[in-house]
Amino acid sequence: MLNLDDTIERVKECKLIPERDVEELCNKIIEILIEEGNVQALDTPITICGDIHGQLHDLLTLFKTGGECPSTQYLFLGDFVDRGFYSLESFLLLMALKVRYPDRITLIRGNHETRQITTVYGFYDECLRKYGSVNVWRYCCEVFDYLSLGAMIGGQDGVFCVHGGLSPMIDQIDQIRVINRKQEVPHEGAMCDLLWSDPEDVPSWSISPRGAGFLFGYNEVKKFSHTNGVSLIARAHQLVMEGYKEMFDKRLVTVWSAPNYCYRCGNIASVLAIDNALGRQYKVFEASTNQEISSIPSKKPTIDYFI
């Protein structure tokens, strides 16, 4: 029988969890996620977090910065895995917290929560190295398919949250609610755009240099916000050296929560606390000093793409 509190502590210490416990944990979180909508309705106060990318020690610093769960309610905007050396532990910790405190932590899907991307950028190899088989990777990928695509905080005039950005195929949030999310992320279409698109100073929709999704500008953000009664769009997906970046008259913000990304970028990170009046407080933090670099496992270099 899975002991969640014990699992949480073991994962924090980077101790290997038995494969049967990982399978049970994944099955339990799927039972929770299957009841959640494509766009989760969340109450304030809440703290929004950007990409984690397998940097477990920095995730622990994040909780010290924003407050431990369940005392603080959290929304994570995806990209839990890949690039960092502790993708599995990072995702296991977030899953265990979700199962332990289902109403206090929400996880939505990032563009890295897919089978194809994780076979290229590290998560697949990490699972294979740590367990000697791909079973754990398969269990986690099944969970990916059940993750929500977005969240709406605070109701009318609230905060719309998504990993990547907007889509030319989506005018209203209700259109997101009817997407069949329980699948591998398609290479194009609305679901793909939500996970891959980026804001940019462009006059209209433009092709993204990432090879998926679109670039969208002020006009698209203003129109979407007005149509849907949204005061802020919060997203992740892009490295920000200062930890966060507000754009388009503060109608949109990028939140980045992986400090010193890839252990070499030198950036700081942040989380965004939204209070009951929808006020914003950015809490910044630096990379963990507790991480023992000597303990980081050897890892073959991966292909870079537009971060």
- Mark whether 112 is an active-site residue: yes
Sequence-distant (≥ 6) Cβ neighbours of residue 3 within 8 angstroms: none
The three-state DSSP-derived secondary structure of 82-115 is CCCCCHHHHHHHHHHHHHHCCCCEEEECCCCCCH
Q: What is the reported pLDDT for 73?
A: 98
Q: What is the reported pLDDT for 290?
A: 67
* pTM for this predicted structure: 0.94
Closest to 242 in 3D by CA, of 271, 266, 268, 261? 268
CA distance 30 to 178: 19
Burial class (CB in 10 A: 0-12, 13-18, 19+), 26: buried
What residue segments make up the domains of the chain, in order of their start?
Answer: 32-285
**Catalytic residue chosen out of the listed positions 53, 112, 163, 237:** 112
The length of the chain in residues reads: 307
CA dihedral 47, 49, 55, 60 (to 10 degrees): 0
CA distance 58 to 163: 19
Closest to 266 in 3D by CA, of 274, 256, 275? 256
Number of helices (H) and strands (E) in the chain: give both, helices first.
10, 14
Alpha-helical (H) ranges within the chain are 4-12, 19-33, 56-66, 87-100, 115-118, 123-131, 135-144, 173-177, 190-196, 218-228
Residue 132 DSSP SS3: coil
Q: If the chain, 307 residues long, is cut into consecutive pieces of 10 residues, what is the mean pLDDT of each piece?
A: 95 97 98 98 98 98 98 98 98 98 98 98 98 98 98 96 98 98 98 98 96 98 98 98 98 98 97 98 92 47 45
Q: What is the reported pLDDT for 51?
A: 98
Q: What is the reported pLDDT for 1?
A: 84
Give the architecture (CATH level 2) of 32-285: 4-Layer Sandwich (3.60)
Q: What is the reported pLDDT for 222?
A: 98
